[in-house]
Structure 1
Amino acid sequence: MYGFSSVEKGDYDLESGGLYPGISHGENQLRWGFVRKVYGILAAQIVLTTCHPMNFVFLGLFTLCLSVTIGVACANTQGKIVLQALVITSVVVSSLTGYTFWAAKKGKDFSFLGPYYSLLLLCLFSQIFFPIGSTATAVVGGLGALIFSAYVVYDTDNLIKRFTYDEYIWASAILYLDILNLFLYILNLLRGLQSDG
């Protein structure tokens, strides 16, 4: 009637409700546009990471360097373990992203966790200076996977509520790093478990 299409009974329009409590309709529409842009860029980065190296030119040196690093890590690992890590990472990221959108809609806020995550990350990176065996590699891999799973929630919450509309490149890069680190730690966890087995 007024140029709006009606949603059939039983269908749910994800963007019709507020993204989180207290957001105006106009702000909600702008925020959804921002979210779509970030996930579009993120999808392009992930696709280019898994494609032939000639495609890396399109996304730049940043994605190229990280893709080569991931490629080297995967080349030195059995294909079965890489595939398992990829599937686990996909399920974890999808689940945590869905949870964060649901939690934001319910009014939950994860911004207070930032300092704690930074401290945990510093502790995790301190293990670089100490040689560890396969059991410790699995433990560190598990801890790293937990920390970067938490970062996916934290940074997705920032995407929904705190990044400005011009920060879509920065938001995409942060989520990209969260996902790559999560993948690498899951890969290390699986390699450590295989070495012990």
Structure 2
Amino acid sequence: MWTQPYRKNDLEAGARPLYPLMQESPELRWAFIRKVYSILTFQLLATIAVGAVVVFVHPIAHFFVSTGAGLALYILLILTPFLVMLPLYFYHQKHPFNYLLLGIFTLSLAFVVGLTCAFTSGKVILESVILTTVVVMSLTLYTFWAARRGHDFNFLGPFLFGALLVLVVFGMIQIFFPLGRISVTIYGCLASLIFCGYIIYDTDNLIKRFSYDEYIWAAICLYLDIINLFLALLTIFSATD
């Protein structure tokens, strides 16, 4: 299926090749892409729903910041996505365990995002949501357009990984040695640029490189890109508010 040659009757059926020299059936690749974006849509809607509950039901956020049990639970929620990713890597092709683990991963991360938004002004959240939506849609359309014309973004992988390491170290320095509001703004700007690059890189991989059994992993990559971009923009607007 992965090496199935492209046939003329695929065009007659309405499918178009996503990029030059495509060796597989466009119909199968389009079906894979639709499945990934369906899962991604569910993840984003679940994140919005959970985040809205945490933001508008004030006792939830108050519990996490005013009690020792709440603080411990908050730390557990932060660690849960990292702990779930290991078994998810091994079971991402095994139904229904992959969807169960994906649900745990999404809901725990959604709770963390909601708690972050609970202590942020509504204006800042709205600005971040609007800008994230515009950027994600624009970069996604651009990547599909560029892939159709033969552009390849696989070369971005090593550069983005190196930039992400720098960002992580920068964040750790900020935790132990706070450098002020300007430094936080710079951190947010760097993170925004990096995850914009990751959106292009992972969308290009979705079009060309992910196998049909890697739909869960492809959705997670794009979901993390979008959430991290939103949090980076939230950092920028919060620091400048």
Aligned to 1:40: 38
TM-score when normalising by structure 2: 0.71
Aligned to 2:159: 116
Matched, 1:67 2:110: yes
Aligned to 2:143: 100
Q: Deviations for 1:85-125, whole angstroms, at most 9, x for unmatched residues?
A: 00000000000000000000001000011000000000011
Indicate the SS of the match to 2:211.
coil
Q: Deviations for 1:17-70, whole angstroms, at most 9, x for unmatched residues?
A: 21001125x52111100000000000000001111479xx97521001110110
From 125, 132, 136, the equivalent of 1:89 is: 132
Specify which structure has the bigger relative contact order, considering alpha-carbon pairs within 8 angstroms and separated by 6 or more residues: 1
Identity between Structure 1 and Structure 2 (%)? 48
Indicate the SS of the match to 1:183.
helix
Separation in 2, partners of 1:52, 1:102? 34
RMSD, aligned CA? 2.2
Separation in 1, partners of 2:50, 2:128? 20
Check whether the contact 2:199–2:222 (CA below 8 A) recurs between aligned residues.
yes
Indicate the SS of the match to 1:51.
helix
Separation in 2, partners of 1:128, 1:109? 31
For 2:217, the aligned partner's letter is W
Aligned to 1:154: 201
Aligned to 2:26: 28
Q: Deviations for 1:98-157, whole angstroms, at most 9, x for unmatched residues?
A: 000000000100001100000000001112222231111111101100100000000000
Separation in 2, partners of 1:179, 1:170? 14
Separation in 2, partners of 1:101, 1:128? 32
Unaligned residue ranges in structure 1 (runs of 5+): 5-12
Check whether the contact 2:50–2:111 (CA below 8 A) recurs between aligned residues.
no
Indicate the SS of the match to 1:60.
helix
Indicate the SS of the match to 1:111.
coil
Aligned to 2:15: 16
Aligned to 2:231: 184
From 178, 181, 186, the equivalent of 1:139 is: 186
Separation in 2, partners of 1:52, 1:160? 30
Moved over 6 A (4+): none
Pair 1:60–1:18, CA change in 2 (3 A) = same
Indicate the SS of the match to 1:110.
coil
Tell me the CA shift for residue 16 of structure 1.
3.4
TM-score when normalising by structure 1: 0.86
Aligned to 2:78: none
